[in-house]
Structure 1
Amino acid sequence: MYLGIRWNELLRTLCVIASLVVLGSCGNMMTNQWYVQFHNDVTPEAAQQVAQRNGFQYVGKVLNSPSEYQFQHNTVSKLRKRRSVPYTRLLKADPLVKLAVQQTGHIREKRGYKPMQTSPIISRVKRDIQKVLEEKRDSGVPNDPLYSKEWYLKNTGQAGGVPKLDLNVKAAWDVGVTGKGVTTAIMDDGVDYMHPDLYHNYNAEASYDFSSNDAFPYPRYTDDWFNSHGTRCAGEISARRDNGVCGVGVAYDSKIAGLRMLDQPYMTDLIEANSMGHMPDKIDIYSASWGPTDDGMTVDGPRNATMRAIVNGVNNGRGKKGSIYVWASGDGGPDDDCNCDGYAASMWTISINSATNDGQTAGYDESCSSTLASTFSNGKAGYEDAGVATTDLYGKCTTRHSGTSAAAPEAAGVFALALDANPDLTWRDMQHLTVLTSKRNHLFDPNGYHNWTINGAGLEFNHLFGYGVLDAGSIVDLALNWKSVPERFHCTAGSVKGKYAFNSSVAIVLTIDTDACLGQDNEIKYLEHVQSFISVKASRRGDLTMYLTSPMGTKSMILSKRPRDADSKDGFTKWPFMTTHSWAETPVGTWTLVVVFDSDEHQTGTLFDWTLMLHGSQESPYAKQQIKAAAKHSKLGVVKREHEKWSASKE
């Protein structure tokens, strides 16, 4: 087989040949992988015997479960239209087997990949390296030759940027916080772990290749370096400092693990689940710069096993402090909405958008109400070295990495710094710290559609950028003395069911009045995430827009217009539209949902149900937090005062 093949292109081609309708996962393409559940717990040796006597190959456990395993059949095509029913029946007939399910193949794409030409950059680095080493050896500034081009670490106006619009990493480094003792897994197309800027920080024990089922997640060769994606992401986090190679990582003393899982002719639920559940007590952060197709018409998200892996991670990972999942919000541009991506819009993940080095939203950025914060992806067009400088394949360097693919690893690096400062942080602590310390800085929407808004708790947010750009110095400073937030609860605030017809001239306005489970064990007083599970069909799904307004008057656009989405059949079925914009508000009162068409043509639709789910705490998460420097953490001071007012009004 030609080594340069791109598997996602192959999958699409097969879909076209089969005359399928492509809806995110291109119909039901089947793989040669099977999920097998036994009636009772069995040893891996016993599972291997079952696989062998039925003509299958044993792959491994699913989520480390003693009763769930993955098999494959080597005589079955890796990708085919029809189910292999005889093989499934054969497994089901085995007396030890309770359930056997052939795995569906679906598309998962890297975000921000563009072919890069690195030769001029490499030669320039080689020319400059000795000069840089001599000038910076004693200056306290990293002597890595690309450091001066890493404007996302220190923006001095390079490539047309705005000075000081950066991640403020030096403030963390100056207090000795560099990511020590933290491991981030790069879930991607592999990592060049022999790269001189990475191998010292490579955690081989926590690494694995789920595409080839071995312990060596090295990228597969292609002529156009298509599989350089994971290596570039890894360098942003953990590239070694002061070694005279490429640049320096955000958390340059942290470790990176390679989880190669994005390079096969399909993606399956089991590959995703095993990747996200891999060694949750040895991996602290999982960084994902991929997702469903960013084509503006896909509605897709994690399947059953993957959801189990994520939920298990946040509940039990890191010694029950919770695994931290960082997700790139997507590269579908203004014609897509990341609330249609079930990974980026999950409350278990931290969804990261990107900004350019002058504070604008990039042309490929998606917007949605589930985005928590932003980092950086590339500089202004037309400037040399405007991309993200990082490591590249085969020991080389690049200054042209871009997309929200570049943004998510930067966030993972900042979170590694926070965990170095305070290893006891939970996954929810990290989200609260992100909300409180992210900055508006110079971020703005050049089109003027999405302005900065203050929510009912006094927190400033933006539909494009979430709560602002991550600030490493501030998150480390606040993390040092952070008290873990109180227990989290879930409350079903109410449901509306029926057949509510609407059209281009008449919108739907529905309300739910809630006491937020007052007096019950799961009462919510202080909000974190808010989900609206909605079932709706429309003559043109892409023209639907939805808005949710909280009792404190905060309006969230939970679905924007998607011009490319012409679906008239599937609609949304109990899809969890999520918003973070009401963070720290009180949920008691009337919630209002508005569903309206944004179309010049006549459209019709029917909404069948809306269920409102509230997630948060019964105690103020900020009551016990210390404010050492009000200027640095003014958000914390504001929200604490608001919470004190609410408490006083109820006494």
Structure 2
Amino acid sequence: MVLLFTTGFVSGYGQTNENVPGQNSSYHYYYFKNKLPLELNVFKVALLQRSVPGMSVSHGKFKKYGIQDTDIDSWPIPGWALAKIPATARSVQGARGLVLQIAEEKTADFVSPLFNDHKGNRIIITQHIFVGFNPGTTPERVKKIIAKYNSLTIEQQDYSNMSSVYKLRSSARSGIMVLNVANSLAELSEVRFAEPAVIFEGKGKVIPNEPDFSNCWGIHNTGQSGGTNDMDMDGPEAWDLTTGDSSVIVAIIDTGVQQNHPDINQIAGVDVTSDGGNGGPVNSYDNHGTAVAGCVSATISNGIGTVGIAPNCRIVSIRTFISIDSQGGWTTDTRWTVDALEWAENNGVRITNNSNYYGFTSGLIESKYQQTRNNEMIHFACAGNDSSSSISYPASLTSVNAIAALNRNGSLASFSNYGNGLAFSAPGANIYSTDRTGNDGYGNGDYAWVNGTSFASPYVAGIAGLILSSDPNLSAGSVEQILQQSSEDLGTPEYDTTYGWGFVNAFNAITQICDSPTAPTGIFASDGTYIDKISINWDSVLEATGYEIWRNTNSDSGSASKIADDDLSPYDDYSVIPSDTYYYWVKSANDCGTSDFSSSDTGWRSVPADTTPPNPNPMAWETEPYETGDSAISMVAEPASDSSPPVYYQFDFFDSPTGGTGGS
């Protein structure tokens, strides 16, 4: 049994019960089985009052803790607010004590310490816990484990369609207690991950740039403004083959995309945050997503603005983050990323782009990314803008392709992250993209010049859209392989951690796409024509570069064995037994794969002719002895046992029993 402790306070927030979890050790949470530190913010605490939308006014409820109404600022997520901790309690023990006293006295519906990640982004613990159990853990066993924690109830099994992932709710009113229980669960051998649902901050940072250039060098580089000629993604060359298909949708997981933008090809969006919007921006800072979307599907040949790399594909905005400042900062809930991925999966989206980097790593988010990748979704995310040799989260996940930014000369942009796990590089410096129209957005116009890996990532997502437009049946792995094989190598040969697999190229990618050939027709196997082989013939297939010959002793192709590869028809099979019947199939092949089985035909090898003379039975003389002067000699011979008619006999005559002279 895990006991949850509450405590009273004699005087001051620094006096706490010694049994309160975490008092004598630093705070942490578990990312799977890895313990990650949490830095306690001693200046503010987070308060939740569900009945008060913003809590900008508390009507004196918290004065007894030294918190005035003017010390409380609303948080963008309804019901939440941050309260300043009185100066006399600004210590680890003081902050902890304040949280526990507010929880015990039920002054707020819920209260959480405010934590900071390693970049200073703020984290708030909520009342929910997500637990991923090991495969094979039965629901009955899960219920027994959860029953040991008096504060927990199961709200949902197989959360977000993830097997053995449970959503739990704690009755505790303190984030300290919720964190303690989550950590306790995470340490169990039957648990893959356990973590509290948190509200956290991150960045979708844009580095604005004045409109000094007149065209999109990343798509078509003519050497403008000091760039390197043809150092681009070969957009126009790719568009000769395809500009994308409207059935291919790229999800933009971001701060919202302007839904009525005249130059973005999109379908109606969705908002998975607490704001309940329609996928478009909600506040004046929600600018990032609109610029990201333009890199994918800004419309072609409409006489205005810019163009995306996949202009006839469409994007869908899934607003997942609430912007909180003009520098790209936002807040979100762990569940919102999971909800965004689930919405995309349920609505047939194959490609997602997340041009944001989080200050919080989550087993729940990682599991959802991996599950959807296993289900053939392809994910892209920005590597980060810290000039760092480590990839930001969630781009650092193995299920996500991390994208670095290049400048117009093909070098890594000065701000771009790089390092182990980097997948590809794409244009990300001085990018001309869509902005919110009118006075909203980064400037007063409808377009903006921006820098950041945030814009390199959607370019690669757009090329993935062109690939799926050319062949919608490709697997996620095949799309990624095409991107790898078609990228221009910029660094050391093959893969390196500065450029990944290289500079993505739309034209190269599309020309690498081909279909597996069709199955051959006209299959014919010889029927006894040859004494040493069976000859298999078929009609050639135009797109094939070779053929596979398959054989069985019955008509089941599923148990047939491949006996040979061949370039042309016919193929001669010398490994057969005379008179036995064999079934043959042929598959055509090229670099993209092999065809289905052809129809079958049977063949057999004839029995070779017997060239050994027959062995006659003993002769019988009709009359003997034979005397000199007899007119005839009659001989009778029985047919040889190893002969077939006609049989010819040779008779030899000699003048003595032992031979001598004579004739036949």
Provide the TM-score with structure 1 as the length reference. Answer: 0.52
Aligned to 1:475: 509
Aligned to 2:474: 425
Aligned amino acid, residue 178 of structure 1: G
Superposition deviation, residue 481 in structure 1: 3.3
Of residues 499, 505, 521, the one that matches 1:465 is 499
Aligned amino acid, residue 203 of structure 1: I
Matched, 1:323 2:377: yes
Matched, 1:203 2:297: no
Distance 1:258 1:33, change over 3 A: farther
Q: Secondary structure at the match of 1:330?
A: coil
Aligned amino acid, residue 469 of structure 1: F
Distance 1:365 1:37, change over 3 A: closer
Superposition deviation, residue 246 in structure 1: 1.7
Superposition deviation, residue 241 in structure 1: 1.7
Of residues 270, 274, 283, the one that matches 1:212 is 274
Aligned amino acid, residue 335 of structure 2: L
Aligned to 2:337: 272
In angstroms, what is the RMSD of aligned CA positions?
A: 4.4
Distance 1:153 1:27, change over 3 A: closer
Distance 2:415 2:271 in 1: 30
Aligned to 1:337: 389
Superposition deviation, residue 431 in structure 1: 1.7
Superposition deviation, residue 425 in structure 1: 1.4
Matched, 1:251 2:310: yes
Higher share in helix: 1
Aligned amino acid, residue 365 of structure 1: S
Describe how 1:462-611 pairs up with structure 2 within 5 A.
462-481=496-515
Of residues 453, 461, 473, the one that matches 2:492 is 453
CA contact (8 A) 1:24 1:107 kept: no
CA contact (8 A) 1:273 1:308 kept: no
Aligned to 2:427: 376
Aligned amino acid, residue 389 of structure 1: S
Superposition deviation, residue 353 in structure 1: 0.8
Q: Secondary structure at the match of 2:332?
A: coil
Matched, 1:237 2:302: no
Distance 1:102 1:466, change over 3 A: closer
Matched, 1:390 2:434: yes
Distance 1:12 1:211 in 2: 23
Distance 1:472 1:66, change over 3 A: closer
Of residues 625, 629, 632, the one that matches 2:591 is 625
Distance 1:476 1:4, change over 3 A: farther
Aligned amino acid, residue 251 of structure 1: A
* Residues 30-58 of structure 1: CA deviation (Å, up to 9, x unaligned): 136565999999xxxxxxxxxxxx9x9x9
Distance 2:337 2:220 in 1: 35
* Residues 400-432 of structure 1: CA deviation (Å, up to 9, x unaligned): 221000100111111100110111111111221
CA contact (8 A) 1:269 1:304 kept: no
Aligned amino acid, residue 473 of structure 2: D
Aligned to 1:415: 464
Distance 1:347 1:364 in 2: 23
Distance 1:4 1:311, change over 3 A: same
Task: Percent identity, please.
Answer: 20
Describe how 1:12-27 pairs up with structure 2 within 5 A.
22-23=117-118
Larger of the two Rg values belongs to structure: 2
Distance 1:69 1:260 in 2: 25
Distance 1:208 1:34 in 2: 25
Aligned amino acid, residue 311 of structure 2: Y
Matched, 1:405 2:454: yes
Distance 1:431 1:176, change over 3 A: closer
Distance 1:64 1:32 in 2: 21
Distance 1:12 1:238 in 2: 43
Distance 2:368 2:130 in 1: 15
Aligned length: 389
Distance 2:427 2:82 in 1: 31
Distance 1:4 1:165, change over 3 A: farther
Aligned to 1:155: 221
* Residues 463-487 of structure 1: CA deviation (Å, up to 9, x unaligned): 211121111011011123379xxxx
Superposition deviation, residue 398 in structure 1: 2.5
Aligned to 2:160: 63
Runs of 5+ consecutive residues of structure 1 not aligned to the other structure: 42-53, 89-98, 125-145, 294-299, 317-321, 380-386, 444-451, 484-622, 628-651
Aligned to 2:357: 291
Superposition deviation, residue 213 in structure 1: 6.0
Superposition deviation, residue 269 in structure 1: 2.8
Aligned to 2:405: 354
Superposition deviation, residue 354 in structure 1: 1.0
Matched, 1:114 2:207: yes
CA contact (8 A) 1:34 1:101 kept: yes
Aligned amino acid, residue 105 of structure 1: I
Q: Secondary structure at the match of 1:311?
A: helix
Q: Secondary structure at the match of 2:322?
A: coil
Aligned to 1:435: 484
CA contact (8 A) 2:380 2:402 kept: yes
Aligned amino acid, residue 126 of structure 2: T
Q: Secondary structure at the match of 2:308?
A: coil
* Residues 544-577 of structure 1: CA deviation (Å, up to 9, x unaligned): xxxxxxxxxxxxxxxxxxxxxxxxxxxxxxxxxx
Distance 1:220 1:259 in 2: 13
Aligned to 1:504: none
Q: Secondary structure at the match of 1:279?
A: helix
Distance 1:196 1:74 in 2: 48
Superposition deviation, residue 153 in structure 1: 1.1
Distance 1:377 1:28, change over 3 A: closer
* Residues 511-534 of structure 1: CA deviation (Å, up to 9, x unaligned): xxxxxxxxxxxxxxxxxxxxxxxx
Superposition deviation, residue 220 in structure 1: 2.3
Of residues 31, 36, 42, the one that matches 2:126 is 31
CA contact (8 A) 1:60 1:70 kept: yes
